[in-house]
């Protein structure tokens, strides 16, 4: 069963109203005069409406992760797997795994592990394209750290893209994170970065398409 995200209610309703208005004008001015153009525009309006509505879809999925598993927090494609210096919270070297979400992907974000939320911070910023090397540090973003029951912390970051102009995040410091529970949503094209301890076994590859709550990214030590 498919549902739709609450963050999209006003946008979807407004889009339907605009679609009906444009369709009415299109019918009034072109249906009898230039039927081919009327039909072309009508199909275009319908496709655009469909793309907007499907952006906010939430598929019914059950998270199948085990206690030590790091589950994928977002639908999309793996675009980065590399060792980097994480400068905001850990201030040491970590394995960065980045997932790019196109406008066609589901854009709800989910906790990759269970534990306690030990850090959250929102950063206003730019809107560079999500695959830009500096988008992780210069774009609008939110950072969240969860501490697993074994003491290991992992950091994950929502990053706005050129089209994504609003990051919605619900995690607060002190919250109990449940693997597979929703912690946020990003509107219209974006990226999620995870920063994992060195030595973490990574189970995905560059370019691999992944699904939130279903794909295992790695295993905690």
SS3 category, 133:
coil
Task: Please identify which of the residues 15, 98, 135, 190 carries the catalytic annotation.
Answer: 190
Let me know if 190 is a catalytic residue: yes
Angle value at C-alpha 214, between 207 and 171, nearest 5 degrees: 100
Nearest-CA neighbor of 136 among 172, 163, 184, 100? 100
Please state the separation of Cα 46 from the chain's center in Å.
Answer: 25
DSSP letters for 150-186: TS-EEEEEEEE-SS---EEE---TT-EE-TT-EEEEE
CA–CA gap between residue 204 and residue 46 (Å, rounded):
37
Report which secondary-structure segment, H or E, holds 20: helix 9-30
Q: Which residues contact 123 (CB under 8 A, 6 or more apart)?
A: 140, 141, 142, 143
CA–CA gap between residue 17 and residue 45 (Å, rounded):
12
SS3 category, 15:
helix
Which tokens belong to 205?
A: 């590859």
What residues act catalytically? 190
């Amino acid at each position: 069963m498919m549902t739709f995200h609450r963050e999209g209610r006003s946008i979807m309703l407004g889009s339907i109203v605009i679609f009906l208005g444009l369709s009415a004008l299109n019918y009034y001015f072109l249906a009898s005069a230039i039927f081919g153009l009327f039909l072309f525009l009508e199909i275009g309006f319908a496709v655009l409406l469909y793309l907007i509505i499907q952006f906010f879809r939430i598929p019914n999925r059950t998270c199948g992760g085990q206690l030590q598993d790091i589950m994928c927090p977002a639908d999309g494609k793996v675009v980065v797997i590399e060792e980097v210096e994480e400068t905001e919270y850990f201030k040491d070297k970590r394995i960065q795994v980045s997932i790019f979400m196109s406008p066609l992907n589901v854009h709800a974000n989910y906790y990759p592990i269970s534990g306690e939320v030990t850090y959250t911070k929102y950063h206003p910023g730019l809107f560079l394209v999500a695959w830009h090397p500096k988008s992780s540090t210069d774009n609008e973003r939110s950072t969240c750290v969860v501490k697993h029951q074994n003491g290991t912390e992992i950091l994950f970051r929502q990053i706005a893209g050129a089209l994504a102009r609003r990051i919605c995040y619900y995690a607060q410091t002190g919250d109990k994170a449940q693997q597979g529970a929703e912690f946020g949503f990003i509107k219209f094209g974006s990226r999620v970065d995870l920063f994992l301890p060195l030595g973490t076994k990574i189970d995905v590859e560059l370019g691999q398409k992944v699904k939130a709550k279903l794909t295992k990214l790695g295993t905690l030590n």
